[in-house]
């Protein structure tokens, strides 16, 4: 089976659908801590919200960090932190400290 021809508009729709699925997956799994995502994958929910805000800015749409985070988290960030964020383990903090740029 050969790879189907996908035009730019279809690519954008598929990428948007994959992004929506990723955000939905992260919302459904709040037990996955951001520091663990950073240590394993090199990005977290905050990175996604920053990329979302930067994409909005590139389109001329002003979007604040708190608004972008609420879009990704599905609630205000402070509320998500209070409900789901746990203190990072010393091991997770040590692993994070070894990441470039941190």
Question: Taking 90 as the threshold, does the pLDDT of residue 101 lie above it?
Answer: no
Q: Is 37 contained in some domain?
A: yes
pLDDT (tens digit per residue) in 79-100: 999 999 999 999 999 999 987 7
pLDDT (tens digit per residue) in 26-41: 999 999 999 999 999 9
Q: Is 24 contained in some domain?
A: no
Q: Is 1 contained in some domain?
A: no
Question: What is the total count of domains within the chain?
Answer: 1
Q: Is 6 contained in some domain?
A: no
Q: Is 60 contained in some domain?
A: yes
CATH of the domain at 45: 1.10.3340.10
Using pLDDT thresholds of 50, 70 and 90, give the confidence band for residue 1.
Answer: confident
**pLDDT at position 99:** 79
Distances (CA, A) of 101 to 36, 93, 96, 98: 16, 14, 10, 9
Average pLDDT over residues 11-27: 97
Q: Is 22 contained in some domain?
A: no
Q: What is the pTM of this model?
A: 0.87
For residue 63, give its domain range: 33-94
Q: Is 26 contained in some domain?
A: no
DSSP states of 38-63: HHHHS--HHHHHHHHHHHHHHTT---
pLDDT above 70: percentage of residues in the chain: 98
Q: Is 87 contained in some domain?
A: yes
């Amino acid at each position: 089976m050969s790879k189907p021809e996908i035009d730019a508009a279809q690519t954008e729709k598929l990428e948007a659908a994959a992004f929506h699925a990723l955000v939905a997956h992260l919302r459904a799994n709040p037990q996955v801590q951001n520091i663990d995502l950073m240590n394993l994958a090199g990005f977290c929910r905050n990175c996604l919200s920053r990329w979302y805000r930067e994409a909005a800015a590139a389109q001329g749409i002003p979007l604040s960090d708190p608004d972008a985070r609420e879009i990704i988290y599905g609630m205000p960030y402070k509320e998500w932190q209070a409900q789901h964020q746990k203190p990072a383990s010393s091991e997770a903090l040590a692993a994070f400290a070894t990441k470039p740029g941190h």
